[in-house]
Amino acid sequence: MDRKRALIYPYDSESAFLLRFNHLNKVFNSVGVVSPRGWALVGKDAGTADGGGEIGLIVAKDFEEYNDKDYDAVVLVDSFKELDFEKIVYPKLELQVSKGKGIISLTKIESYHLKLLEDLCNSNNVSFQSFVDDKKPNMPKLTNILDIDVPVIFVLGLGDRTQKFNIQLSLWEGLKRLGYNVSQIGSKSYGSIFGFHSFPDFMLSDDISEQNKVILFNRMVKRIEINEKPDVIIIGVPGGIMAINKDIAQGFGIIPYMISQAVKADASILSIYYEEYSEDFFKEIELLAKYRFRATIDCFNLSNIKIDYAEVEQSKQMSYLMVDKAFIDDKKNKYKGVNKPFFNIFNENDQRDIVQYIVDVLSGEEAIEDVL
Amino acid sequence: MDIKDAFIHTFNTRQGYYLYDVNTNSILKIDKNLYEYINKRKNGSSEIKEDLEEKINKMRDQGFLSSKRVEKMEHSFSSLLPYVIKNRLSSITLQVTQQCNLRCEYCVYSGSYKNRIHDDKSMSFDIAKKGIDLLIENSSESNMINIGFYGGEPLLRPDFIMQCVEYAKEQAEGQNILFHMTTNGTLLKGKIADYMAENDVQILVSLDGPEEIHDKNRKFASNGKGTFKVIMENIAELKKKHPEYVKKNISFNAVLDGTTDFHCTTKFFCEYEDIKDFRINTASVSNQYSNKEIRMKESFYIDISYERFKFLLYKLGKLDKRYASKLYETEFAKSIVSINERKNYKSVSKKEHHGGPCVPGLNRLFMDTDGTFYPCERVSELSEHMKIGNIYDGFDLDKMDKILNIGRLTEDKCRNCWAYRFCYLCAAFADNIEGLSKEKKLSNCVRVRNDIEERMKNYCMMREMGYAFNDEAAYALEGEVL
């Protein structure tokens, strides 16, 4: 099936993976990116957004910079900064829809705005597709946990913006290339565009008890195991594994905890913020993973995002600083004293090496073929 | 390890004995015997008391009393400066003009300071545009950008300010912008006042107190007359036309002149009908870069201390709010609540910097009329060390690094200073125009340590008296404030 040629909007660091892994996207082909002028990306290479190296597309300030013939749809995405839907987003989409461009949504849109957008598309006879998982599950009647018999890999993060999704996509691609049958639940709600499962909406619902969420997630993974017969299941775990301090709650690690109670990981990757950590930090984080999440951290990814703690303390909202991939390549070498490998997922060699490393970790368990 | 080597500081209040453990950033209440024993041991006594040593060992087992020191004074943003200027600029304050329509006695541009003096230089719109572009272009990771207007008196050029605001709004689509201005308030009227209200510009008006105190220093350049009446008329008019805007966006900055009557000042800000509902910041007449020593009358100091005491009584519920000066609300948060909100650590790190320096360029970048950058508007424009770049050549990372890591100048002292986490000395305290001076910086240390000890004592005293620091936050969850 021919993929729709699409422009990403509003483009920033949160959607850069769509370009970096465009070849894996089954739904649309990202041919261009549009970003509001005030986000400091216009006129720059799209790779500037996530600091992960050049991509080869220049960020446009408006859709008009593209020729009408060169794209079929606009993809509405999540962004790091919020944008006023009615004042900024909707007028731009209105113009695109009037030109016959379809809308693909990868972001949860408030119901009132969603209706507005659907009506707009309907009245102009253009398509509106949402890939955000919002299926309502049936409540479980039993409360037992079913064992998952194939190896499970967790991709965990110390918090948001630690490039967990890039790691998941690298694993997905790498393991498939090595011939494995891979099933995957992505940490985002629209994994289906890459052919894997989206993170289920029920895990974020306020109306379902924590116990039921654990059971539902366990059953979801078990059914994937039965139906898809994978060699390995990758689970991208959203959010952060713990509160970093009194000001930075990161959801208190509640979702990772629920997932770890639903499914036991056979291998785990933890992506951490850039910081000058002491070796004690890694010892403690491994203990935390072991006792809170029943998981062994097998390797670390050093992301290119640093938390600006002073600013968070003052403004009471998350504040970050982004460095580039060369900086991280240099810094990750300083952790050679830690007995676990460090990767930089923006480094092409590391993208390949992390896959091989995880295969080796899982293969290492093959001395015991099964525990009955 | 001997207690003599522990990285600690002891102090006492009327009711309690305390030990501040630097490594963990904890304040421990201890008994009098132990307090006296530790002090004696630290002062060279070799007498060992087994029962007290046992207590000390228990404290060590709990992770306290470590002798570990920072090995190197290095700010955690040192190697990140290239990225700060690339994606985390969040503010620029434009020196709209060096002209002023007032001649205030204590103004840092009056000639009494090692700083530039009033001049007729003004910023061109081209330079302002370049500054705004630089900010927007390098703020991709900033949650919000701030654009400030500073002088001289910025309202001498209302059209320029409007031009800048319109340009920034047009260029920064999708980004939150906060505009702010520091003004003497004498020209805040008519069309420009309406424009400020329409654009939610936050305004800090300089107002020192009641007419006789304000007018003592703040006089028109043209006729030497006081400016109080004009400011009050302008504020009243603005309040009448834009009440919500004024409530949200106007605050006053009062420079406390130690030669005046403090009671009159505080009474004015707390009781004067047209003023009492505004937020007030206070600052003393600046000593930094001053050519002469700034002195305070003893009676002024006594009055200030008495008002501070009354405010603490009010916080403890022992004095009605109407007797407490709101001039202390900010000071209370900065000096005492901040002690309560300090973070705890396992130990000091190998590389750390003492408190004080802001990351140059990150939050308070100041650009003068010629397009030269300074870390903030408070440093001397005569100091070459504070010029961290310009709009044509970009930033000077070496100079920024020196300003950020001003602790390197005094590393031997800072490494062993118990107060380093709470220190507030930045490069401006070391700047003697000719250079960044170790001696000048160190001359502030006794005062800083005394001040920090006083804050800790007040914090402990408030706890002893039953003040519950977290109560207000607990109720804020439900939208209520105590």
Closest CA to B152 of B98, B222, B206: B98
Give ∠ CA A196-A200-A202 in degrees, rounded to 5: 170
Interface test with B, best of A35, A39, A83 (most B CBs within 10 A): A39
How far apart, in whole angstroms, are the C-alpha atoms of residue B198 and residue B200? 6
B266 within domain boundaries: yes
pLDDT digits (tens, 9 = 90+) for B274-305: 888 899 988 877 777 777 777 778 888 898 89
* B181/B253 Cα distance (integer angstroms): 12
Q: Is B351 close to A10, i.e. CB distance below 8 A?
A: no
Distance between start and end Cα atoms, chain A: 44
Q: Which of A77, A98, A130 is the last residue of a domain?
A: A130
Residue B476 has pLDDT above 60, yes or no: no
A178 touches chain B (CB under 8 A): no
Q: What letters, b where the CB count within 10 A reaches 16 and e where it falls short, cover A123-148?
A: ebebebbbbbbeeebeeeeeeebbeb
Question: Which chain B residues contact residue A81 at CB under 8 A?
Answer: 143, 174-175
**A307–B contact, CB cutoff 8 A:** no
Q: Inter-chain contact B173–A37, Cβ cutoff 8 Å? A: yes
**Tokens 């005492």 sit on residue:** B336
Neighbours of B213 (CB within 10 A): 23
Answer whether residue A137 is part of any domain: no
Please give the tally of structural domains in chain B. Answer: 2
A287 touches chain B (CB under 8 A): no
> Are both A202 and A275 inside the same structural domain?
yes
- Inform me whether the C-beta atom of residue B343 falls under 8 Å from chain A C-beta atoms: yes
Task: Determine, yes or no, domain membership for A263.
Answer: yes
- Domain edge (last residue) among B46, B68, B90: B68
Of B80, B172, B177, nearest to A306 by CB-CB distance is B80
Residue B471, pLDDT > 80, answer no
Same domain as B288, residue B140: yes
Beta-carbon contacts of residue A226 (< 8 Å; ≥ 6 apart):
none
User: Which CATH number belongs to the domain containing residue A290 in this structure?
Assistant: 3.40.50.300
Same domain? For A29 and A160 the reply is no
Quote the domain boundaries for residue A125: 4-130
* C-beta of residue A300 within 8 angstroms of C-beta of residue A342: yes
H or E element that contains B35: helix B32-42
Asked if A37 has any chain B CB less than 8 Å from its own CB, the reply is yes
**What residue of B is the nearest CA neighbor of A37?**
B173
Asked if residue A222 lies in contact with residue A146, where contact means CB atoms within 8 angstroms, the answer is: yes
The Cα B449–Cα B454 span in angstroms is 8
B135 Cβ under 8 Å from any chain A Cβ: no
- For residue B363, tell me if it sits in a domain: no
pLDDT value for A20: 97
Q: What is the pLDDT of residue B480?
A: 42
**Nearest residue of A to residue B167 by CA position?**
A38
**Chain B touched by A321 (CB under 8 Å):** yes
Q: Does B175 touch chain A (CB under 8 A)?
A: yes
What is the average pLDDT across B118-145? 95
> Is A146 within a domain?
no
Q: What are all long-range contacts of B232-240, with beta carbons under 8 Å and residues at least 24 apart? A: B232/B274, B233/B189, B234/B185, B234/B186, B234/B187, B234/B188, B234/B189, B234/B193, B235/B185, B235/B188, B235/B205, B235/B274, B236/B274, B237/B189, B237/B193, B238/B188, B238/B189, B238/B193, B238/B197, B239/B274
**Could you give the C-alpha distances from B108 to B97, B120, B152, in angstroms and in order?**
15, 16, 10
Indicate the helix (H) or strand (E) that contains A18.
helix A16-20
Q: What is the mean pLDDT of residues B257-268?
A: 85
Whether residues B87 and B63 share a domain: the answer is no
pLDDT for the residue A365:
54
Q: Which residues of B touch A88 (CB under 8 A)?
A: 173-174
CB atoms A37 and B171 under 8 Å: yes
Placement of tokens 């990981």 in the chain: A265
CATH number at residue A67: 3.40.50.720
Same-domain check for residues A329 and A193: yes
Average of per-residue pLDDT values in chain B: 92
- Residue A203 touches partner B, C-beta closer than 8 Å: no
With respect to residue A144, please indicate whether it lies within any of the assigned structural domains.
no
Q: Which of B297, B321, B340 is the last residue of a domain?
A: B340
What residues of chain A lie within 8 A of the CB of B137, using their CB? 40
DSSP single-letter state for residue B350:
S
Question: Which residues in B lie closer than 8 A to residue A312 (C-beta atoms)?
Answer: none
Question: CA B219, CA B226: separation in Å to the nearest integer?
Answer: 4
Are A117 and A218 part of one and the same domain? no
Does one domain contain both B182 and B49?
no
Distance CA A299, CA B209 (A): 62
Residues B161 and B54 in one domain: no
Chain A residues closer than 8 Å to B83 by CB: 321-324, 327
The answer on B86 and B28 residing in a single domain is no
| Phi, psi torsion values for B459, nearest 5 degrees | -60, -50
Is A38 within 8 Å of B349 when comparing Cβ atoms? no
Q: Give the model's pLDDT for residue B282.
A: 85
Strand partners, B281: B253
A191/B contact by beta carbon, under 8 A: no
Chain A residues touching B361 at Cβ < 8 A: none
Q: How far is the C-alpha of A108 from the C-alpha of A125, rounded, in Å?
A: 22
Asked if B140 lies within 8 A of A278 by C-beta distance, the reply is no
Residue B432 lies in a domain: no
| Token code pair at residue B170 | 């047009």
Cis upstream peptide for B63 (omega within 30°): no
B53, B195: one domain: no
Q: Which residues contact A192 (CB under 8 A, 6 or more apart)?
A: A27, A131, A133, A198
| Domain shared by A126 and A230, yes or no | no
| Contact check, Cβ <8 Å, B346/A280 | yes
pLDDT value at residue B472? 66
Confidence label for B473 from pLDDT (cuts 50, 70 and 90): low
Is B456 inside a domain boundary? no
What is the CATH number for B279? 3.20.20.70
Q: How many domains does chain A have?
A: 2
Check whether residue B96 and residue B20 sit in a common domain.
no
Q: Smallest CA–CA separation between A22 and chain B, in Å?
A: 23
Contact B141 A48 (CB under 8 A): no
Q: Would B332 be classed as within a structural domain?
A: yes
* Contact between B174 and A308 using a beta-carbon 8 Å cutoff: no
Long-range CB pairs of A349-357, under 8 A, 24+ apart, other chains included: A351/A170, A351/A174, A352/A174, A354/A167, A354/A170, A354/A171, A354/A174, A354/A269, A354/A299, A354/A301, A355/A170, A355/A171, A355/A174, A355/A175, A355/A178, A356/A174, A357/A298, A357/A299
Whether A39 and chain B come into contact, CB under 8 Å, resolves to: yes
B2: pLDDT confidence band, cut at 50, 70 and 90? confident
Which has more confidence, B118 or B98? B98
For testing contact with chain B, the best of A13, A37, A312, A318 (most B CBs within 10 A): A37
What are the backbone dihedrals phi and psi of residue B380, each rounded to the nearest 5 degrees, phi first? Answer: -75, 130
- Considering the domain architecture, whether residues B11 and B133 belong to the same structural domain is answered as no
The beta strands (E) that lie in B267-319 are given as 279-284
Domain with B112 in it: 78-340
Considering B340, B369, B390, which residue would you say is the last residue of a domain? Answer: B340
Question: Are B139 and A324 within 8 A, CB to CB?
Answer: no
Residues A359 and A234 in one domain: yes
**In this complex, do A37 and B343 lie within 8 Å of one another by their Cβ atoms?**
no
CA A291 to chain B, closest CA, distance in angstroms equals 21
Compute the nearest-CA separation of A320 from chain B (Å).
6
CB spacing of A317 vs B143 below 8 angstroms: yes
Question: Which of helix, strand or coil describes residue B228?
Answer: helix
Same domain, A70 and A161: no
Residue of A nearest to B142 (CA): A319
- What is the distance between the alpha carbons of residues A51 and A163, in angstroms, rounded to a whole number? 11
Residues B42 and B95 grouped into a single domain: no
Rg from Cα positions in chain B? 25
The 3-state DSSP class for residue A192 equals helix
Asked, for residue A135, whether it belongs to a domain, the answer is: no
The answer to whether residue A83 neighbours chain B at the CB level (below 8 Å) is: yes
CA distance A103 to A6: 9
Average pLDDT score over residue span B17-25 = 97
* Residue A212 covered by a domain: yes
When scoring A34, A311, A318, A330 by the number of chain B Cβ atoms within 10 A, the one with the most, hence best to mutate, is: A311
B351 interaction partners in chain A (CB closer than 8 Å): 276
- Write down which residue in A130, A164, A185 finishes a domain: A130
Chain A neighbors of B75, CB-CB under 8 A: none
| A contact residues 210-239, partner B, Cβ 8 Å cutoff | none
Q: Is B111 left (phi over 0), alpha (psi -120 to 50) or beta?
A: left
Burial B35-74 (b: 16+ CB within 10 A, else e): bebbeebbeeeeeeeeebeebbeebeeeebbbeebbeebb
- Tell me, yes or no, whether B85 and B60 share the same domain: no
Asked if A12 lies within 8 A of B349 by C-beta distance, the reply is no
Per-residue pLDDT 10s for chain A (372 aa) are 579 999 999 999 999 999 999 999 999 999 999 999 999 999 999 999 999 999 999 999 999 999 999 999 999 999 999 999 999 999 999 999 999 999 999 999 999 999 999 999 999 999 999 998 777 888 877 789 999 999 999 999 999 999 999 999 999 999 999 999 999 999 998 999 999 999 999 999 999 999 999 999 999 999 999 999 999 999 999 999 999 888 888 889 999 999 999 999 999 999 999 999 988 899 999 999 999 999 999 999 999 999 999 899 888 889 999 999 999 999 998 888 888 999 999 999 999 999 999 999 998 754 455 555
Pairing of strands B26-30, B17-21: antiparallel
Closest CA of chain B from A273, distance in Å: 14
Both A287 and A176 in a single domain?
A: yes
Residue type, B54: E
Minimal Cβ distance to B141: which of A36, A37, A322: A322
A270 part of a folded domain = yes
Class of residue B215 by CB neighbours under 10 A (exposed 0-12, middle 13-18, buried 19+): middle
Q: Which of B25, B75, B139, B143 to mutate to test the interface with A (most CBs of A within 10 A)?
A: B143
Find the helix packing angle between B228-241 and B190-198, rounded to 10°.
50
Structural domain includes residue A230 = yes
Mean pLDDT confidence for B238-259: 92
How many Cα atoms within 13 Å fall on the side-chain side of residue A106? 27
A25 plus A87 within the same structural domain? yes
Note whether residue B433 is domain-resident: no
Residue B40 sits in the same domain as residue B88: no
Closest to B34 (Cα-Cα) out of B15, B6, B54, B20: B54
Same domain assignment for residues A23 and A73: yes
How many other CB atoms are there within 10 angstroms of residue B401's CB atom?
18
Q: Are residues B30 and B144 in the same domain?
A: no
Cβ density class B252-276: b for 16+ within 10 Å, e for less: bbbbbbbebbbeebbebbbeeeebe
pLDDT at B479: 43
> Percentage of chain B surpassing pLDDT 70?
98
Tokens 């305290």 found at: B429
Interface membership of A319 toward B (CB under 8 Å): yes
Window from A136-140, A201-205, B175-179, B369-373 with minimum mean pLDDT: A136-140
Of A41, A321, A327, the CB nearest to B84: A321
Alpha-carbon distance A163 to B301, whole Å?
55
Tell me: do A27 and A79 sit in the same domain.
Answer: yes
Give, in degrees to the nearest 5, the angle at Cα B214 between B208 and B219: 120
Tell me, yes or no, if B338 comes closer than 8 A to chain A by beta carbon: no
Q: Does residue A165 sit in the same domain as residue A95?
A: no
- Chain A residues inside the 8 Å CB shell of B140: 12-13, 39-41, 48-49, 322
Inspect the interface and report whether the beta carbons of B80 and A12 lie closer than 8 Å.
no
Whole-angstrom distance, CA of residue B69 vs CA of residue B76: 16
Q: Is residue B407 part of a domain?
A: no
